[in-house]
Amino acid sequence: MKKNKQPGKVKSALLNWLGVPISLTTGTFWEEWLGMSSSGKVVSADKAIHLSAVWACVRLLSESVSTLPLKIYARQADGSRKPATDHPVYQVLCRRPNMEMTPSRFMLMLVASICLRGNAFIEKKMIGSKLVSLVPLLPQNMVVKRLENGRLEYTYTENGQKRVIPEKNLMHIRGFGLDGVCGMMPMREGRDVIGAAMAVEESAAKIFENGLQSSGFLSAEQALDAEQRERLRGYMQAFTGSKNAGKIMVLEGGLKYQNVTMNPEAAQMLESRAFSIEEICRWFRVPAFMVGHADKQSSWASSVEGMNLQFLTNTLRPLLVNIEQEISRCLLDGDDDLFAEFSVEGLLRADSAGRSAYYTTALQNGWMSRNDVRRLENMPPIEGGDLYTVQLNLTPLEDLKQNSKAAQAANLLKVHNFVFPDIPFEQSPLKQAA
């Protein structure tokens, strides 16, 4: 075996590719970092995204979050909030993160990195103390290390060049993790589930490649020499593959073909493929019907509003809160008067009846005005629409009694002034009669 004269370059290349500290001397290297699953498939983010279930889950989560409006708010003295449109972070995060990305594309890449890699890294570009740009980095090229002084060191590899990024110039959003330093990599922790799904998909593809025909074997009464075997191998190529399905095979020299019977149902191929989708959806915490898997009756709510509400509460909300708090910590410097928040009302707009009932309740109880409702519906304000009103039938009985007596006295005074204009009201016969 020829000895490699440049072992340092080989190790450096592996380090650059994986983006994590590794050692070729450890016995678990290939299993831990190359993602070898029990099914024999190498699982990585680039390979797993080829599975339709993984693609659908990651796309659903990233596109759902990227379409939600994200704003920076300032708390007012009266307890209300106001969009901090003049703040530098608002101008960058909510309008133009960098020269190449819109806010939607920026957030889509951020969430996709968390789903596939467990972490998202965003470098802050500064001019003096002013934030001017946010640049997302590839998580697979980042190495995070805890230093002796307790701080974190971030080493990023780009085009073969390593550079250390100060912690203050980086926003690190972690997914689910146990050590608090980095989020756990879903493609590594779930390699057996995803690897099994990859193996099942490959097996199904091979069946179709063979024209839905399972394998078999040829038998002969006498042994074949090397020349006959080679000629037979070339002859059989004309009958293998899906494009040659249905051709009639002519066997010579006493050869007999025996089929190895196996159908997809006997191999539980269909059940395995369906269960793989459910497993992957469970791993990403996405309801299976939202990625097009509706073989079984769903236990979720039957209305669109109920489905969106449960998806928002159980799936999106932990992710949204994580991003909001990291923005406050890393970009707003922990200022208590400033905070970031996603507007999730858009997810509930599909149900017009439910939305109408929500607005009606708000208007009748006086905690929203008509212009507040029109603003949420992207409609212009109207004159007098800032008045807050309540239902009259919700007035306390004591107030109704007082209002009734006052109205009777006012009406009696009007009648007296018309009938007895020259007599004081205190001496009015009407008042004495009343």
> In the predicted model, what is the mean pLDDT of the chain?
76
Quote the CA–CA distance of 375 and 235 in Å, as a whole number: 74
Return the percentage of the chain with pLDDT > 90, whole number.
22
Q: Which pTM does this prediction carry?
A: 0.67
pLDDT-derived band of residue 226, with 50, 70 and 90 as boundaries?
confident
**17 Cβ neighbours under 8 A, 6+ residues apart:** 140
Q: Of 111, 58, 68, whose CA–CA distance to 285 is shortest? A: 58
Read off the tokens for 201.
Answer: 């998909």
pLDDT-derived band of residue 122, with 50, 70 and 90 as boundaries?
very high
Contact 286, 315 (CB under 8 A): yes
Read off the tokens for 396.
Answer: 């306390």
172/310: higher pLDDT: 172
Q: Of 184, 150, 147, 154, whose CA–CA distance to 170 is shortest? A: 154
Residue 217 scores a pLDDT above 50: yes
- Tell me how far CA of residue 248 lies from CA of 206, 207, 236, 245, 263, in angstroms: 21, 19, 11, 9, 21
